[in-house]
Amino acid sequence: MTKDIQTPGKHTVLPLLSSAVLAGICIGIAGFGYLAEKSIIGAVLFAFGLLTVVSYQLKLYTGTAGFIKRGELAHLLQILGGNILGCLAVSLIARCSPLPLQDTAQGILEGRLAAGAIHCGILAIGCGFIMTTAVTFARKGNNLPLLFGVPLFITCGFPHCVADAFYYLSAPAPYLRDNAADILVLYVAIVAGNFIGCNLYRAIIKKQSD
């Protein structure tokens, strides 16, 4: 998460994917904690996932999107795919919990669907902006923006596409099947919104310097 993507060859795809899957597991575990304690306490505990990703320099979509170079979009999508796989693994564990995690996850998903893809995509821009800010400071050894930024985007209701992947995958299977098309449109909007937010700094600074 704290290093730029290097142009991958055939021998670097597996390490990239492995790092992305592990990052997804970290976020999934953080999301598990949030579903167990859906409050400001859970939002603060969620920071564990991002701190772990930063410390191990794992590949996370929202920690990488603001730093990619031209021609690396395909590799960013590989990272997102690995993140989702990691979230899927933890979601299977969550289904074994005696806590009402599936109901809480469905509640989050229902809220997103009620807001609509356009609104959630716009709100996701805020999360991307916070994430790039946090990673920029983390690269300089300052994790305070990360510690505050994570509870901030959760409290504000700014969707994080990897965290949302865990929530959606943790929701009851029948609900997912019945709403699959709407969930897919919603998720694409959130991924796009995160990407825009992650790149706001570069877009604005570049325009100012032109």
Q: What is the pLDDT of residue 177?
A: 97
- What residue ranges of the chain have pLDDT lower than 50? 1-8, 10-11
Per the CB < 8 A criterion, the answer to whether 159 and 60 are in contact is no
Query: Which residues contact residue 139 at a Cβ distance below 8 angstroms, ignoring those fewer than 6 apart?
Result: 2
Q: What is the DSSP letter of 160?
A: -
DSSP state of 179: T
pLDDT at 205: 85
d(CA 119, CA 41): 26
H-helix segments, the chain: 13-36, 40-45, 47-55, 61-64, 73-94, 101-115, 117-138, 144-156, 161-170, 173-178, 180-198, 200-209
The predicted pLDDT at position 4 comes to: 44
The set of residues, in sequence order, having a beta carbon less than 8 Å from that of 138 and lying 6+ positions away, is 1, 2, 54, 145, 146
Reading the block at residue 14, the tokens are 């597996």
pLDDT of residue 1: 45
Structure tokens at 58: 């794992």
Query: In terms of C-beta density within 10 A (0-12 exposed, 13-18 middle, 19 or more buried), how is residue 179 classed?
Result: middle
pLDDT of 209 reads 54
Nearest residue to 3 (alpha-carbon basis) of 53, 70, 71: 53
User: What DSSP assignment string belongs to 101-159?
Assistant: HHHHHHHHHHHHHHH-HHHHHHHHHHHHHHHHHHHHHHTTT--HHHHHHHHHHHHHT--
Give me the pLDDT at residue 207, please. Answer: 63
